[in-house]
Copies of this chain bind each other. A is one copy, B any other.
Amino acid sequence: MKVVAKTHHIYSFAPDLKPVLTVASGDEVVFETYDCYREQLNAPSRNQLFALQGLNPATGPVAVHGAVPGDTLKITVISIDLDEEGTMYLRPGAGILHKYVAEPEVKKLRVEGGKVHFNEKHALAIKPMIGVIGVSPKSGDITTYSPGTHGGNMDTKEIAEGAVVYLPVSVDGANLAIGDLHALMGDGEATVCGVEIGGRVRVKVELVKGQCFVTPVVEDREQVYVVASAATMDEACQFATEYMFEFLRERLEGTEANEIVCLMGISGDLRVSQMVNPLKTAKFAIPKAVFDVTFEKSRG
């Protein structure tokens, strides 16, 4: 098994990243990851602000042999194994609820027996997910804090065990990096963090030649999601919904546009992923039971 140590990590997705490993389509790879604070918050604390260095490290990048711009990277999340302790860091001024956070605080949370042990009263079932999963963009230098059409900090809780993430390839090799695991996070990420935690993510990486699209697509057992990010939630919602229409139209030859519009309106769900990153992220979910499509246009 190929393993990428967490000491190999990036803080921005850029076109000219140097891969730490090159794999073939179909290979499995384990990404060891730091928590989003790069393990700089080691103990609970109250009333203390930290000057952290290097946030949201993403382990990698891993190149895929033969990937060229216009291809698509298909990443199947086989497993997410979490460390035994998670962290939440509240900072005044950060997050949707910033005005209610009067004093900074670091919470250290034990993750054991499938639960986050939040306090004496609350033990919440974990739902491990990947906050950051992305590839090199065509241009620019996109911090691992931000989401975008290259993936990145999408903070989309459906990117969990069993999910498949499709990312458009923009540079030779694609350059996949993964980080920012959460033991648990709600849609919106109102606190500006989930239960932040390190761990090991095992994925299968496959190259789909061609079929490139304009924003990430995620698939789980029940649904297909278009994940779209923009400066405002209104724009992100519009982008996600329009691109879902285009995604479906390409795959449902012979189906009238009005028919797709109606089925989307009554069976699809427009949802919020996160409201707290440099761009905001929405997702449009459609049930596979209604639209018999997957990412790959021809299903054999």
Contacts and interface: CB of A to CB of B under 8 A. Distances in A.
> Which one of A186, A187, A234, A267 has the greatest number of beta carbons of chain B within 10 Å?
A186
Chain B CB within 10 A, most for which of A88, A90, A234, A260: A234
A275 B241 CA distance: 11
A257 B102 contact: yes
Interface of A: 88, 90, 95-97, 99-103, 105, 107, 116, 118-119, 122, 124, 184-195, 232-234, 237-238, 241-242, 245, 249, 257-272, 275, 280, 282, 284, 290
Contacts of A269: 186-188, 272
A157 to B, nearest CB: 9
A262 B184 CA distance: 11
Given A124-B290, A187-B271, A188-B237, A100 B266 contact: no
A265 B103 contact: no
A188 B97 contact: no
A258 B186 contact: no
Contacts of A270: 96, 186-188, 190, 272, 275
Contacts of A124: 266-267, 290
